[in-house]
Amino acid sequence: MNKVISGACTALAAVLVWSWAACAQRPVFEASELEGSAQEKLPGKLAAPDLSGPQRAMPRHVASPLPNDQRGSIRRVETGGRKLVALTFDLCELSDQRAGYDAPLVAVLRELKAPATFFAGGRWMRSHPERAMQLMADPLFEVGSHAWTHGNFGVLGREEMARQIDWTQAQYELLREDLAALAGKRGVGEAVKGVRESIAVFRFPYGRCSAQALELLAARGLAAVQWDVNMMDAAKSRTAEAIVRDALRQVRPGSIVLGHANGFGHATAEALRALIPALREKGYELVTVSALLEAGKPATTADCYDSRPGDTAVYDAQFGEGTVHPRRNRP
Ligand SMILES: [Zn+2]
């Protein structure tokens, strides 16, 4: 009899432990909600520029100014040879065209348990609230800022630059509040405890910046994280094989790799399926940008560029202030 009770108790305890563990790990979103279609990757039709901001224009969270060693444009991080690498994906959105969301790309990262950082435009977050909240809620990922409507910080005036930064911060905070409310409603409030209250890292659209832009970010505690390895995945002719081959040749300890998750990356998801295991095979550990910054000393430059100083200035003529489709800028 005792044996039976004891057996039942063990079974009950096992069930309780299981349900406690299942409870503790229950995510905010169901797996089915994370799925996406190929259609979702496509951009919307061009429309009149939308100049409206977020529901609340100013962020509530005020961060301390950046420490001196994090000021400037960060290309990679000196890790003392530690083989860390940060995969980053931009979620760019202009004022006149809704961008897409590359669900298969995000699914590959989740499947391979690969940490990554997404630099999201504020307007992108507003037009993709559920996707933005899913990225925020996933402990694998970090969400950074990619300006409100992809403004060109090599051209914009101070006031507009500040607006591009602040509106995006405010939008993130609004979604963070919505996410907390949703998690509470679903009985998993604990799941969002680790989601940061405000964005800590920023990426300049078009790889363009200025001393004034860097100053504005530093005053707001935002690190300007650019890259030293460009997947160049927005080029339609670029194959997954070429992306993997070039990335494996260019990545070194502390590298920051740039790709796109807004539908403008073509073979990105396919490339990641090969690139991630290949990097791990070479002894690299994937980390978010903030984890990479904590692990070493940022290698900074006074200007922003792709592979050599000045090479992104060509975008000024093509994109102007950067916030509308280049077709509108044509004379
Ligand atoms: Zn961009």
| Interval 273-324: pLDDT, tens | 999 999 999 999 999 999 999 999 999 999 999 999 999 999 999 999 999 9
Q: With a cut of 80, say whether residue 21 has pLDDT above it.
A: no
Buried b (16+ CB within 10 A) or exposed e, 279-307: beeeebebbbbbbbbebbebebeebbbbe
Least confident of 23-27, 111-115, 231-235: 23-27
Instruction: Write out pLDDT tens, residues 215-272.
Output: 999 999 999 999 999 999 999 999 999 999 999 999 999 999 999 999 999 999 999 9
Q: With a cut of 80, say whether residue 197 has pLDDT above it.
A: yes
Instruction: Write out pLDDT tens, residues 125-167.
Output: 999 999 999 999 999 999 999 999 999 999 999 999 999 999 9
Q: How far is CA 104 from CA 8, 107, 206, in A?
A: 44, 5, 24
In the reported structure, the alpha carbon of residue 245 is separated from the centroid of ligand 1 by a whole-number distance in angstroms of 23
What number is the average pLDDT over the span 57-76? 95
Angstrom distance (rounded) from CA 231 to CA 251: 11
What pLDDT is recorded for position 37?
87
In the reported structure, the alpha carbon of residue 146 is separated from the centroid of ligand 1 by a whole-number distance in angstroms of 7
What pLDDT is recorded for position 25?
64
In the reported structure, the alpha carbon of residue 323 is separated from the centroid of ligand 1 by a whole-number distance in angstroms of 10
Q: With 0-12 CB in 10 A as exposed, 13-18 as middle and 19+ as buried, what is 59?
A: buried
What pLDDT is recorded for position 176?
98
Contact 119, 144 (CB under 8 A): yes
What pLDDT is recorded for position 328?
72
In the reported structure, the alpha carbon of residue 233 is separated from the centroid of ligand 1 by a whole-number distance in angstroms of 12
What pLDDT is recorded for position 326?
84
What number is the average pLDDT over the span 98-102? 97
Task: Please calculate the CA angle 287-127-273 and round it to the nearest 5 degrees.
Answer: 35
What number is the average pLDDT over the span 195-216? 97
Q: What percent of the chain has pLDDT over 70?
A: 92
What pLDDT is recorded for position 5?
40
What pLDDT is recorded for position 16?
52
In the reported structure, the alpha carbon of residue 149 is separated from the centroid of ligand 1 by a whole-number distance in angstroms of 9
In the reported structure, the alpha carbon of residue 91 is separated from the centroid of ligand 1 by a whole-number distance in angstroms of 6
What is the chain's mean pLDDT, rounded? Answer: 92
DSSP codes of every residue in 135-189:
HHH-TTEEEEE--SS---TTTS-HHHHHHHHHHHHHHHHHHHHHHHHHHHHTT-G
Residue 66 tokens read as 């950046």
Rg, the chain, Cα only = 21
The one-letter code for the residue type at 286 is L
In the reported structure, the alpha carbon of residue 90 is separated from the centroid of ligand 1 by a whole-number distance in angstroms of 5
In the reported structure, the alpha carbon of residue 317 is separated from the centroid of ligand 1 by a whole-number distance in angstroms of 16
In the reported structure, the alpha carbon of residue 204 is separated from the centroid of ligand 1 by a whole-number distance in angstroms of 7
Count of other CB atoms within 10 angstroms of residue 92:
24
* Residues, CB within 5 angstroms of ligand 1 (ion): 90, 92, 205
Q: Which CATH superfamily groups domain 71-329? A: Glycoside hydrolase/deacetylase (3.20.20.370)
What pLDDT is recorded for position 15?
52
